[in-house]
Structure 1
Amino acid sequence: MQAKRHYKYYDLLLAAFVTALLCSNLIGAGKAAVVDLPILGMTVFGAGILFFPITYLFGDILTEVYGYGHDRRAVWAGFAALLFAAFMSVVVIQLPPADNDYMRQYQIGLETVFGNTWRIIAASMLAFWCGSLANAYVMAKMKILTQGQHLWMRTIGSTAVGEAIDSSIFYFMAFYAIWPTEQVIAVALAQYVLKTSWEILMTPVTYRVIAWLKRKESEDYYDYHTNFTPFRLKV
């Protein structure tokens, strides 16, 4: 039986991944922002898009260096964190505020910002789980097919698949019948284009981080014998 490897940086990457996931979903996801883009003009997008793609960057790095199993474990950790955040938001909002003007206004603010959190979290969990595992699966399979060559093709291709699934699920599940339907569609499409473009722009950074980690960890994992079921925590 092969001894289990101990990695120096995996736990740090896992913590950073979960932090980026929680912040991008809770702080940025509910705000529809607007930016003037070349060709596209005034484009509406979810504010979380500025930071959520970091989670896919982490996913690519984890799969490329440590393998699908370690990325799947990180996805489940993120899933649990989102579930706890949903539970906590419901409990905190339901607690009666102290009887003073400040806390009454504070309660209104909490309900405005986190009152839809249960729906956002449900959408986030399903979209994130499906999209991230699809991203990891495509990344791992493409690594085998390309024999470890063309990293840019794997990172961009896997992200294009994962983000398509993520964007399709999240915005319709989270904001349908809350935002106008045309805005839901526009934001979902804009998010997909911007997130995928973000991944392309970050390719040089991804290359450097992956190369550094492979050297430091003495690892470059190929998922030849991996069980790709998404329903397990074991690496």
Structure 2
Amino acid sequence: MNNLLVFLIFAVVNFGLIATAYKFFGKRGILGYIILSVIAANLQVNKGVMFDFGLFELEATLGNVMFAGIFLATDLLNEKYGYKEAKKSVYISIFANLSFVLIMYISTLFQGLEYSKDFSEALELFFSINGGALKAVLVGNLVYLISQTLDVYVYSKLKAWNDSKKYLWLRNNGSTFISQLVDSILVTVGFALVGIFPMDIVGTVIITTLVVKYIAAIIDTPFMYIMSYITPKDDVDA
């Protein structure tokens, strides 16, 4: 299947799952999905993919859709529950992700049996000291803290300026476009510095990653509007 088609399907499924989590589990559901997304994105980012737009192709790292979902989720928390709740979700998700990596790293220290050799090698590839995922997570979480803090701050300022639903698209896309620009530059340079990919493709990766992230951000806008009208089941029960 064409990567671009998979990307579009993936985006719709991912954003749809965020809306579902919010509908049935409210604020806790969104927080849980943010944690899941941070972990998944930091694993997926090790895989390079090519998107064929017909007239041109874009090379990017996988994980962009999951990261776009995180920005959508924190924007939703900001919209419905305020700046402090959105900011707290960033700290909780970083703690959860680092805890996951620490636990998985310790698992690589065990001596595995022969029948589980393939699985042991997969763990080593991702979570050993020299593993790609470990480097990606350490760099990614630092950049994630910076970009998400910026996103939450800009969104709150835009909401303070005008909190009507008419400008929901501006709050959502404005904060995301600015913070994703910072995120893409910092994470790409950081990954190159730790050897995840060559330094000579940094410029290309930044541009292509931004294009993919901005497309995902535009796709998530209707979902932001849908969720703005959803009353979570937890709120109804309360």
Q: What TM-score, normalized by structure 2, do the two folds share?
A: 0.79
Aligned to 1:207: 225
CA RMSD, Structure 1 to Structure 2 (Å)? 2.2
SS of the residue aligned with 1:34?
Answer: strand
Q: What TM-score, normalized by structure 1, do the two folds share?
A: 0.80
CA contact (8 A) 1:172 1:184 kept: yes
2:76 and 2:200 map into 1 onto residues whose CA distance is 35
Aligned to 2:62: 47
SS of the residue aligned with 1:52?
Answer: helix
Q: Work out which of the residue numbers 127, 132, 139 in structure 2 matches 1:123.
A: 139
Aligned to 2:16: none
1:208 and 1:124 map into 2 onto residues whose CA distance is 30
Give yes or no for the alignment of 1:103 onto 2:116.
yes
Give yes or no for the alignment of 1:94 onto 2:109.
yes
Q: Which has the higher helix share?
A: 2
CA contact (8 A) 2:72 2:224 kept: yes
CA contact (8 A) 1:65 1:214 kept: no
In percent, how many aligned pairs have the same letter? 22
- In the alignment, structure 2 segments of 5+ residues that lack a partner are 1-24
SS of the residue aligned with 1:44?
Answer: strand
CA contact (8 A) 2:192 2:202 kept: yes
Task: Report 1:125-204 matches (<5 A).
Answer: 125-148=141-164, 149-176=166-193, 177-204=195-222
The higher radius of gyration belongs to 1
Q: Work out which of the residue numbers 71, 75, 80 in structure 1 matches 2:86.
A: 71
Task: Report 1:14-53 matches (<5 A).
Answer: 14-26=31-43, 28-39=44-55, 41-53=56-68
Shift of the alpha carbon at 1:12?
Answer: 1.5
Shift of the alpha carbon at 1:129?
Answer: 1.0
Count of residue correspondences: 207
Measured at CA, do residues 154 and 11 of structure 1 come closer, stay the same or move farther in structure 2, by a change above 3 Å? same
CA deviations 1:154-193 (Å, max 9, x no partner) are 1111001111121122222234334222333322321222
CA contact (8 A) 1:123 1:173 kept: yes
2:232 and 2:42 map into 1 onto residues whose CA distance is 30
- In the alignment, structure 1 segments of 5+ residues that lack a partner are 1-7, 219-235
Shift of the alpha carbon at 1:106?
Answer: 2.8
CA deviations 1:22-54 (Å, max 9, x no partner) are 11222x110011111255x12111111132211
Measured at CA, do residues 173 and 56 of structure 1 come closer, stay the same or move farther in structure 2, by a change above 3 Å? same
CA contact (8 A) 1:65 1:213 kept: no
